[in-house]
Structure formats: C-alpha cells, structure tokens
C-alpha cells in the first residue's frame, strides 16, 4: 500500500514517549496495520529520491516525487475537476536542504557487545531516532499535501471544498474507495468534531482509516501551533536554549544554533554529529568535513572547512557558549548550558 510514512512493526515504537510524540497511538497504530512491512528501517534516506533504481528499497515513505510526477498527474486533474479550484503548479522543487546522512547512527553495530545498561541507552536512543524520523516524515508529507492542494495544515480551517480535496487526496494516497459524497456537506470544523464512530457511520469501509489520518493532521496542526506560541512567548534569555528552529526566524543563524539543529535531528545527521551526553551537552563531531560542508552550505561559504569551523567554535570559549569537556577529546565539545 502506498503511504508517505511507514512505521516499524514493533508496536513499542508507536507508544508515546517522554520525548513527546503527539501522534496518537491509535492513529499511528492504524498506519502500522496498513503497511507494516519494513524491516530494514536504518537503511532509509529521509529525502525523496527520483532515481528509479532506488525506489525498490524498502523505504520509510513513498517519495512525494513519486506521487507528484507519475500517476498523480491524472489524479490532480480529477481533484481540479472536483473542486474547481486547485492549482497544481508550481511544481514542487526538490528541497534545497543540505545533503543528509542516509543512515541512522547505530553505535555498537559491528563492534563489541554492549553492556546491558549501554544497550538500554542505545535502544532508547534508537527508538527516539525512529520516532523523530517518523514524525518528521509525517510533517513533511502534510506540508507537501498542503502545497499541492492549496489548503491550510489545520483541518479546523478547511472549507467544504478543502475537505473534499483532502478526502480525495487521502483516498488516492491510501488506495481507499471514494467516499467523498458521504462527507460532502461537512467543513473542517464539522469534520474535526466527528468521532471515529461518526466516521464509520458515514463510511463503514474506511471511516476508521480516514479518522486516523485526520487525527494525524490535527496533531500536526497542534504541534505547529504550540511551536509558534512558544516562539512568541520566549524571552531573549530563554531564546538561546529554546527549541525554536532558527531556520524560521529570519535572523542569521549562529554556529552553535546550527550545531544544535543537527544534534536535534539524529535521524538525518547522527552520522556526522551526535550527542555523547545530551544531559551535559557533550557532543562529538563524527565527520568533521561533512559538518563543515553543511555549515558552509548554510552560510553560503563554499570554502568552509573544519579548520575554520573549529576556529569559530573556539571563539565560543570566551563567550561561555561552548567549551571543551573536562576530559578533552578530539572533536568533542560541550555546550556550557545544556538543554
């Protein structure tokens, strides 16, 4: 079954954790039921690829490019016909994000057996990485759908037409029977107020599936709202260590922020930079050249290298932002004020 997100069959991954996934267990479990054939999760790149030779890989997602550039053309015409207003173009450009490390960092792989305690830590980290990966992919797919359908991410704001677009999209994506008519009189508010039972009554075949997907959209909208509220609430002092994504702020990004961004996305960058001790803010740059290249890309400094990047890090010593840990190790640094 085609789906933008595939979740590891291990149901433990679907449980809410202290890292705070807001996607309800039932929603994710529903997706799990639909598509769970993924065993080699760690092999997956988080970026869409056009290379057809790679489509056969067991993947975490159905590439949005697959969806957009192949069979979707005909489908989009259908959406346009049914809603009368969807604008298909402009074609989504491949994300200009810097190249990413395709493999989830897996400490211990191929190495010595880990002690039980360490094993627990590794397992917990892997779970967090997978969950963060899944949530990230869900959010990306929602964003893609919003652009394509020209609808807002928050279902509550949808008009009846928006609801129909979303239904068509979801039906198409998950190969569901067409049930748009059963929901044709509803706008976003109505839809969001409906229980799973209401959905089943309107569509016995796939009401539960639609309800689960809507639940995910609602959760994503909630997350987004929470994020924006948080940004406006933080004070200048708190801003330093907030979770706010610096890429949205419009301000030039600082190197320490950039490093934290990488560290907060272990599923994408865990291979080039990772926490050694998150509580203490100790991290290790595993691939100095790669991190420098990413920094150079972000700052549009093609000549950036680790020598220069590390000089910038050392400038933070005096400012009390980053320091060397008590036991100095190569490529290991420590945030003075950990999260």
Partner DNA sequence: TAGCAGGAATACT
Partner DNA sequence: AGTATTCCTGCTA
The Cα–Cα gap between 18 and 132 comes to 12
Least gap, CB of 314 to DNA (angstroms): 5
Strands 273-277, 332-335: parallel, antiparallel or unpaired by DSSP?
unpaired
Name the residue nearer to DNA (CB basis): 226 or 319: 319
| Neighbour-count burial for 134-151, b at 16+ CB within 10 Å, e otherwise | bbbbbbbbbebbbebbeb
Name the residue nearer to DNA (CB basis): 12 or 289: 289
Least gap, CB of 57 to DNA (angstroms): 31
Q: How far apart are the first and last CA of the chain?
A: 40
Q: Which residues bind DNA (CB under 7 A)?
A: 252, 254-256, 288, 295, 299, 301, 303-304, 306-312, 314-317, 319, 324, 328-332
The Cα–Cα gap between 110 and 103 comes to 15
Name the residue nearer to DNA (CB basis): 278 or 324: 324
Least gap, CB of 270 to DNA (angstroms): 17
The Cα–Cα gap between 63 and 3 comes to 9
Name the residue nearer to DNA (CB basis): 147 or 319: 319
Name the residue nearer to DNA (CB basis): 117 or 252: 252
Exposed (0-12), middle (13-18) or buried (19+): which is 113, by Cβ within 10 Å?
A: exposed
Least gap, CB of 328 to DNA (angstroms): 5
- Crossing angle of helices 160-173 and 116-149, in 10° steps, is 130
Least gap, CB of 326 to DNA (angstroms): 11
Name the residue nearer to DNA (CB basis): 106 or 288: 288
Phi, psi of 92 (to 5 degrees): -70, 130
Order across the sheet with 332-335: list the strands. 273-277, 282-285, 332-335, 322-323
Least gap, CB of 309 to DNA (angstroms): 6
């Amino acid at each position: 079954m085609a789906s933008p997100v595939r979740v590891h069959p291990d149901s433990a991954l679907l449980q809410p954790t202290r890292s705070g996934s807001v996607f309800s267990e039932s929603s994710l479990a529903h997706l799990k039921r639909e598509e769970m054939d993924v065993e080699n999760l760690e092999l997956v790149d988080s970026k869409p690829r056009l290379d057809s030779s790679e489509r056969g890989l067991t993947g975490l997602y159905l590439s949005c490019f697959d969806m957009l550039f192949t069979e979707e053309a005909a489908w989009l015409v259908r959406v346009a016909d049914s809603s009368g207003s969807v604008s298909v173009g402009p074609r989504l450009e491949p994300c200009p994000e810097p190249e990413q490390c395709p493999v989830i960092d897996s400490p211990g792989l191929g190495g010595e057996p880990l002690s039980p305690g360490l094993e627990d830590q590794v397992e917990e980290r892997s779970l967090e990485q997978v969950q963060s990966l899944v949530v990230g992919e869900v959010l990306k797919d929602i964003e893609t759908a919003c652009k394509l359908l020209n609808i807002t991410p928050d279902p509550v704001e949808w008009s009846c037409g928006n609801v129909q677009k979303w239904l068509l999209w979801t039906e198409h994506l998950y190969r569901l029977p067409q049930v748009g008519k059963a929901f044709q009189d509803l706008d976003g508010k109505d839809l969001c107020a409906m229980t799973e039972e209401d959905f089943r009554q309107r569509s016995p075949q796939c009401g539960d599936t639609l309800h689960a997907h809507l639940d995910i959209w609602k959760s994503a909208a909630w997350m987004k709202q929470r994020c924006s509220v948080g940004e406006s609430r933080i004070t200048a002092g708190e801003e330093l260590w907030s979770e706010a994504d610096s890429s949205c702020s419009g301000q030039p990004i600082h190197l320490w922020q950039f490093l934290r961004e990488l560290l907060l996305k272990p599923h994408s960058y865990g291979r080039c930079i990772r926490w050694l001790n998150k509580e203490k803010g100790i991290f290790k740059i595993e691939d100095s050249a790669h991190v420098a290249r990413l920094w150079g890309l972000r700052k549009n400094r093609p000549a950036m290298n680790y020598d220069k990047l590390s000089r910038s890090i050392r400038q933070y010593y005096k400012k009390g932002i980053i320091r060397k840990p008590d036991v100095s190790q190569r490529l290991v640094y420590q945030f003075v004020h950990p999260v």
